[in-house]
Structure 1
Amino acid sequence: MPTTTRGTTTHLRAVVLLTSLVGLTVTGTPSAAAASPEVIVLPGATSAEGIAAGEGDTFYAGDLFGGDIFRGDLGEGTAERFIDAPEGRGAVGMFADTRHDLLYVAGGFSGQAYVYDLETGATVATYQFAPPSPPDADPTTVVNDVTLTRAGAWFTDSLRGVLYLVPIDRHGRPGEFRTLTLRGPAADTSGVFNLNGIAAVRHGGTLIVAHSANGALYTVDPTTGDSARISGVSVPDVDGIVVHGKRLWAVQNSNQVTEVRLSRDLTAGSIREVITSDLFQVPTTAIRHDGQLAVVNAKFDTGLPPTADQYEVVLVDD
């Protein structure tokens, strides 16, 4: 594991699975990026994966296996540790409810999710969506990513054909979670990693999910769980996604971000651009800000377990 005392057998198996996902497409190990206006270092991070947009230039990023949360400024190019998470937590995808000053964080192999207060860093709620992955066997759950709608926070699970919903009341308070069983192609769990990134469109009336093993994007009806493939789009090793209007960016572990133009009815898409950078090192998630994408480098290619000296957010034009 990286230089952390929080490693467990489950974490090691998690790294094995993550590495198997990206190992076929990563053909080299770029040197660690030095600090520059294009790079924001997460100081002291032992791993990285998720990112969320806050107010103004503020962003939040997580230590994947350590669970800590960093808070940074995209304009100043700085970041610092904000939340020192309790031992045993992870931090995968995340989404900030800036209206109510809460951060929703997917907990990965623990089967959990967490809600943090963005003013104090305190834990507001903890959810156990699925039994935690056993310490001496292959993982059985990976709570991977999250998005917010008017109904609440929707979470994906990379090893289960379901979505988890944490409802949010009109005062911004999270309630008891419920599970939505998926139907159709998005329910496929035959791959090593399956459902991954998630985004909401049509004011939350439709969800879009990324499927890593299938290299596909699917729409999901949040009421019925019915899913359908967005045709015309192939995004192998897709991880997190960003949606703005009819534009979608798919972050791929193969060191690129693919921009997709969605059809009005969301049944099809066309690839408009493939964004690459010498600074990418197994990117996983991104946010969009002022005509740029802020992309997290997870660096799963640095060894087994990963051994990067630093983790960072890379800024590229969208």
Structure 2
Amino acid sequence: MTRSFARRDLLGASAAAVVGLGLAGSLAPSARAAGSDDGAWPRQFPLPDGFQPEGVTIGPGPYAYFGSIANGDVYRASLATGRGGVVSAGLGPAHPVIGLKSDGRDRLFLCGGASRELRTVDRRTGRIEDIRTVGSDGTFVNDVVLTPGAAWFTDSFAPQLYRLSLDRHGAPGAVRTVPLTGDWQQGAAFTANGIARTPDGGALLVVNQFVGGGGLMRVDPRTGVARTVDLGGSLLPNGDGLLLLGRTLYCVQQRQNAIDVFRLNATGTRGTLLTRITDPRFRIPTTVAAWGDRLYLPNARFGTPPTPTTDYDAVAVDRVDGVDRV
């Protein structure tokens, strides 16, 4: 079967690009920030050459973590200065990092793409705490969201989610595969992408790049039954990372170099398009995280042949005024 990786065209250059993490590296400034002359926090800063970023997560504190498709490194950057360094060294191109999330304490949850791995890493030491292998040949573990008691992972090539149970300390337990049914339609290629919770916390929201030209699904976490979210005619053909803040959902439309912003109802069954955020600095952004009044996105530069000297960066844009604050 021919597969189009959509948000990850550059994986074609290293189709197994998936991530494993090793021991922590130092925070020596391997990249220097493009700060402003008035001392303001930078709105754009470089990531290491050849890094091939995909996912981003922020916290605890004003620190962003980025995952590398190229070799599975995790890079930490100070939002105040833009400087940073690798805090967890990858195990090579067969073990990339796609999506990632911080639990706000001491643990990072990593998506291993075609390696089929769910990994947790101690963010302080960079040590891999746990690795689980899920799915079957062709599985692509894409993105992750944390909920009370579980971490949920998407599979872009199969109609299913993976639920990693968490104890009261956030440590991983059993993995359960949850088949997706109802309105879910699986395309012949890349289908599921970003994942978030509904505003009331009762269900999950998953981007489906195939159904109806690209849309959003509301998934019952108990049954896996998916229902189409009414977005008032808006489509998400390039929908990638999701970020929910209150009842405001930010969806990165990576190929369109845009973030579409929706106002959801409490249960996440309906959404109204509020606005679209664009920026000339966008170069195929993929995922998004928030700090204060800003959104931070890595530029994945899909379509640009990756080399060890290809430049990559992260950019900050303002959040939409007049909507939820956290």
Q: Determine if the TM-score, normalized by the shorter chain, exceeds 0.5.
A: yes
Judged with a 3 Å threshold, the aligned counterparts in structure 2 of structure 1 residues 265 and 205 are, in CA distance, closer, same or farther, namely: closer
Query: Residue 152 of structure 1 contacts residue 165 of structure 1 at CA under 8 Å; is this kept in 2?
Result: yes
SS of equivalent to 2:163: strand
Corresponding residue for residue 172 of structure 2: 174
Corresponding residue for residue 76 of structure 2: 71
Query: Residue 43 of structure 1 contacts residue 81 of structure 1 at CA under 8 Å; is this kept in 2?
Result: no
Q: How many residues align?
A: 284
Q: How far apart are the structure 2 equivalents of 1:118 and 1:20?
A: 27
Query: Residue 50 of structure 1 contacts residue 91 of structure 1 at CA under 8 Å; is this kept in 2?
Result: yes
Corresponding residue for residue 247 of structure 1: 248
User: Which of 125, 139, 143 is the aligned partner of 2:130?
Assistant: 125
Query: Residue 89 of structure 1 contacts residue 110 of structure 1 at CA under 8 Å; is this kept in 2?
Result: yes
SS of equivalent to 2:8: helix
Q: How far apart are the structure 2 equivalents of 1:256 and 1:105?
A: 25
Q: Does 2:265 match 1:268?
A: no
SS of equivalent to 2:173: coil
Q: CA deviation at 1:41?
A: 1.3
Paired-residue identity, %? 35
SS of equivalent to 1:19: helix
The AA in structure 1 aligned to 2:52 is: S
If the length of structure 1 is used for normalisation, what is the TM-score? 0.83
The AA in structure 2 aligned to 1:257 is: I
Query: Residue 150 of structure 1 contacts residue 203 of structure 1 at CA under 8 Å; is this kept in 2?
Result: no
Judged with a 3 Å threshold, the aligned counterparts in structure 2 of structure 1 residues 62 and 20 are, in CA distance, closer, same or farther, namely: closer
Query: Residue 103 of structure 2 contacts residue 146 of structure 2 at CA under 8 Å; is this kept in 1?
Result: yes
Q: CA deviation at 1:86?
A: 1.5
SS of equivalent to 1:283: coil
Judged with a 3 Å threshold, the aligned counterparts in structure 2 of structure 1 residues 38 and 290 are, in CA distance, closer, same or farther, namely: same
Query: Residue 199 of structure 2 contacts residue 264 of structure 2 at CA under 8 Å; is this kept in 1?
Result: no
Q: How far apart are the structure 2 equivalents of 1:48 and 1:35?
A: 18
Residues 195-226 of structure 1 show CA distances to partners (whole Å, capped at 9, x for unaligned) of: 11001235642111112234211111100111
User: Which of 298, 304, 309 is the aligned partner of 1:302?
Assistant: 304
Q: CA deviation at 1:234?
A: 1.6
Corresponding residue for residue 154 of structure 1: 152
Unpaired runs of 5+ residues, structure 2, are 12-32, 36-41, 320-326
Corresponding residue for residue 218 of structure 2: 219
Q: How far apart are the structure 2 equivalents of 1:161 and 1:142?
A: 11
SS of equivalent to 1:120: coil
Judged with a 3 Å threshold, the aligned counterparts in structure 2 of structure 1 residues 171 and 240 are, in CA distance, closer, same or farther, namely: same
Residues 83-94 of structure 1 aligned to structure 2 (within 5 Å):
83-87=88-92, 88-94=94-100
Query: Residue 44 of structure 2 contacts residue 316 of structure 2 at CA under 8 Å; is this kept in 1?
Result: yes
Residues 61-118 of structure 1 show CA distances to partners (whole Å, capped at 9, x for unaligned) of: 011131110011112222211111112211001110123x110000001111210001
SS of equivalent to 1:67: coil
Please report the RMSD computed on the Cα atoms of aligned residues, expressed in angstroms.
Answer: 2.2
Query: Residue 149 of structure 2 contacts residue 170 of structure 2 at CA under 8 Å; is this kept in 1?
Result: no
Query: Residue 195 of structure 1 contacts residue 211 of structure 1 at CA under 8 Å; is this kept in 2?
Result: yes
Q: How far apart are the structure 1 equivalents of 2:301 and 2:58?
A: 21
Q: How far apart are the structure 2 equivalents of 1:40 and 1:114?
A: 27
SS of equivalent to 1:285: coil
Q: How far apart are the structure 2 equivalents of 1:256 and 1:46?
A: 22
If the length of structure 2 is used for normalisation, what is the TM-score? 0.81
Query: Residue 300 of structure 1 contacts residue 306 of structure 1 at CA under 8 Å; is this kept in 2?
Result: no
Query: Residue 182 of structure 1 contacts residue 227 of structure 1 at CA under 8 Å; is this kept in 2?
Result: yes
Query: Residue 41 of structure 1 contacts residue 79 of structure 1 at CA under 8 Å; is this kept in 2?
Result: no
Residues 4-83 of structure 1 aligned to structure 2 (within 5 Å):
18-19=8-9, 35-36=34-35, 37-83=42-88
Corresponding residue for residue 238 of structure 1: 239
Q: How far apart are the structure 1 equivalents of 2:307 and 2:274?
A: 33
